[in-house]
Amino acid sequence: MKSPLFIICCALLLACNAPKSIDSKIEADVLKRNKQFSVKDSAGLRIIEIVEPFVNSSIKEKYVLYSKSEGKPEGIAADVFVGLPIEKVGINSTTHLGYLNALGKQDNVVAVSNKSLFYDSNFQQRIAAGKILELGNRTLNTELVIQSELDVLFTFAIDASSYESVQQLRELGQPIILISEFMESDPINKAEWLKVFAAFFDKTTMQKADAHLEMIRYKYDSIRTESMLYSFLPKVTIGLPWKGTWYVSGSNSYQAQLIRDAAATYSWHHYKQTASVPLDIETAISEGMQAHFWINTGTITNSNELQKSNEMFAQFQSFQNKRIYTNYKRSNKLGANDYWEMGVVRPDLILSDLVAIFHKNKSDSLTFYKSVFE
């Protein structure tokens, strides 16, 4: 490992440089980032294109946003037309609230699915005050969606079947916009979906999105550059078994990318895929037992519960050295977790947590993580 003085000096050099002077390797990596969407203005219209709304789909979606004062355009094809400005917004994911919060547009949300999943305390107060309509729990209730008279409903499709359900709602005249940020394996690309949400508002909001993204890009890449100074790359395992199977993220996934950017070695790097990998518990334990760190232990947030769930866990190197961390530090009594809300637009804070955990032995200033031994 490099000396602390060397690391501090390099970090200070990064802090003194302007965002555009990040070292050439980082700049090259940034240029390689390919997003799943595009937003552009053309002939008085704002056009959003989604490359792949769900896994293994060959579908491309196109949304045309137009000024209500100008009227709906003719002679142009699109999956959805939305008149601007919008006022009443529905969302179907906690990440959607994370994006809208970053834009200061939380109050536009008047309908959600599964109210209990949202972490933000101000939003929960609006729910408690009866200002938020619930559109369903696991699935959207068609009648409630129609009755809500939304200007736009942000949702998602995970497969062809759920996409068909979206199409059925559209046929009933509902303005359904698919958000597939979950398809992004690059943490910055995931945050970039802020631009899609901002496109439904005014230019000031779009400028706010650009400023936010410029800030997190610089912070994220600065932290990642600092992490390159560490010569020891600890081994990290992830997750927890569920109903007899241990699902781990593939090496091309968002979680694996965060671990790599924090200068650590992902235990499951040999699974070259983006989707989760189902493992039998014996295989997962055999590999995970040797890891230096264990993170993202699901809803189990303390060591006693962890040991009770499987006595073998106490034999893990990470358990014996007290190096197990949950990403449920910011959670409430309902089980809602801000990691999946604010975290989507602050990957720099997640990366900062991981670098502090893996290399600095610090747990007193973490944002999303905490030790299960606390």
- pLDDT tens-digit series, residues 268-321: 999 999 989 999 999 999 999 999 999 999 889 999 999 999 999 999 999 999
Q: Which amino acid is at 334?
A: L
Region 232-257 average pLDDT = 95
What is the per-residue pLDDT for 219? 98
Considering the entire predicted model, what is its pTM? Answer: 0.89
Burial of 109 (0-12, 13-18, 19+ CB in 10 A): buried
User: Is-contact 247 276, C-beta < 8 A?
Assistant: yes
pLDDT tens digits along 44-99: 999 999 999 998 898 999 999 999 999 999 999 999 999 999 999 999 999 999 99
Please state, rounded to an integer, the average pLDDT across all residues of the chain.
90
Quick one: pLDDT at residue 32?
A: 44
Question: Residue 80: which H helix or E strand, with range?
Answer: strand 80-84
**Going from the N-terminus, what domains does the chain have, and what CATH number goes with each?**
37-179 (3.40.50.1980), 235-371 (3.40.50.1980)
pLDDT in tens, 155-191: 999 999 999 999 999 999 999 999 999 999 999 999 9
The pLDDT of residue 101 is above 60: yes
